[in-house]
Structure 1
Amino acid sequence: MRYHIYLITPLLFCFYSNAEPDLSSLGLISEDRPDSPIPKGFIVGGAAISSQARYHESSNDNLVVPGALYFGDNLMFLGDRARYYFNKNDDVAYFGYGRYRFSNLNPSDDGFHGMHKRKGELEGGVGLTWITNYALLTTRIVTDISGQSNGQELLVWADFPVIRDKFLFMPGLGVVIRSEKLANYYFGGVSSSESSPERAAWNAGTTLSPMASVVTSYRFNQHWIGLIAANYEYYDKGIANSPLVQHNGEWLFITGIGYSW
């Protein structure tokens, strides 16, 4: 007998942060019932977010923000990103994926004078999730489709949800591989034209970074859902040793509450 797997996520609000938590397989299974961790339709709410700055000259983010998401039969929308399942059954789900990756470096900010602005980009791709009794196993590849970084990203991820009535505990782990162009554009590359006596040129190269996350959520009643979540990415040395970065990883903590109707 196959277990039902329900998911809820801190990514309701992640588009306000530069952190890179995995989308996992949110919305793959949702039900229209009062105690489901993911009900059909819209969820709106707010969250307190703390995240580590990617660049050492930047400050960590501490924000309180609103957010919204949508779970339909096939469409999942999370503000800056979406999945559409074009084929799914009890064993595997195939999806298309789109995301807007926000700008994360502005040369007008202190510490970045002489750099080129890292503009936001549209990304598109495809993926699949294998559904087992104990885990959701996802592989997804995306590429820039707007001509900014012209880079690609491959994600391999596993979630292990444990459901006890209205409570969800879900650890997850995986790796993300970024092409040289994407890593240099958003993760610490410094071109020769951007270098200076204080900032050496740097080629991040193709990077491989492990990530891990824990998501807990609780359905208080028919309308209200609470969550606490954490995510950590351990940088590839091509990112960590960049003159812009100079640290080993990137963390994200979220506490949120949402309303469903």
Structure 2
Amino acid sequence: MTANPPDGLKAIVADPGGAVIGLDFDGTLSPIVSDPAEARIHPDGPEVLVRLGGLVGAVVVVTGRPAATAVEYGSLAGVPGLVVLGHYGLERWEAGALAAPPVHPGLDLVRAGLPRLVEGWDGVRVEDKERAMAVHTRQAADPWATLEALREPVAALAAEAGLVVEPGKFVLELRPPGMDKGMALSAFLRERAARSVLFAGDDLGDLAAFAAVRASGLPGVTVFSGSPEIEVEADIVVDGPPGVLELLGSIADAIEGEAPR
């Protein structure tokens, strides 16, 4: 672990059975790529998570992606006790079973209107996430300026459809209201009667989960794996998915070092 680990990390190592390890997917377990459909977990990820999952109370992936997609792209089905909360917590994958509410009716309007709204914007992509739609500007000539130009019309379309806009780095996601990563993580911590928590994320949508860690009253650790373009207060800052997995591996090492022989 780090040379002077935060108290939250010490609590996880001292009492791993009470620990919840929460993780975003894109930018945290998977490197960011131009085409979201090409995203895959870092090669070291499955082994590290399988190892850690056998040591702690629970590993939970909280992602904006469909839960089943995160399981597939992350090769996560073999992680012991893994739970994936997809679409910011609207979906739940556990032990091969997927639970999800009906699709929001406003998505039909967005699915029809969003491609027309971005027509003519070079490099802008629309992603259909089944229960949400996203506009990506990463491949535009000026990603930030394009994102800003689209922010207002996208918000207007979302409002008409009864959806909310979740902003991120070079992305605007239109999704159902009523749930975010913080709410999803908080509910999971209560469900598991957690005694400590770590959450790692890389983008604006993860800030609610960071806030949930701080509000939980538990010994907690926030880990930021994103870029310096996003200002975040976190206990530990690492360099992308390799840094996250190195940290998780060091936690597993420390737990095994503390175990009775």
TM-score scaled by structure 1?
0.27
Judging by fraction of residues, say which structure has more strand: 1
Which structure has greater helix proportion?
A: 2
Q: TM-score, normalised by structure 2?
A: 0.27
- The higher-RCO structure (CA 8 Å, 6+ apart) is 2
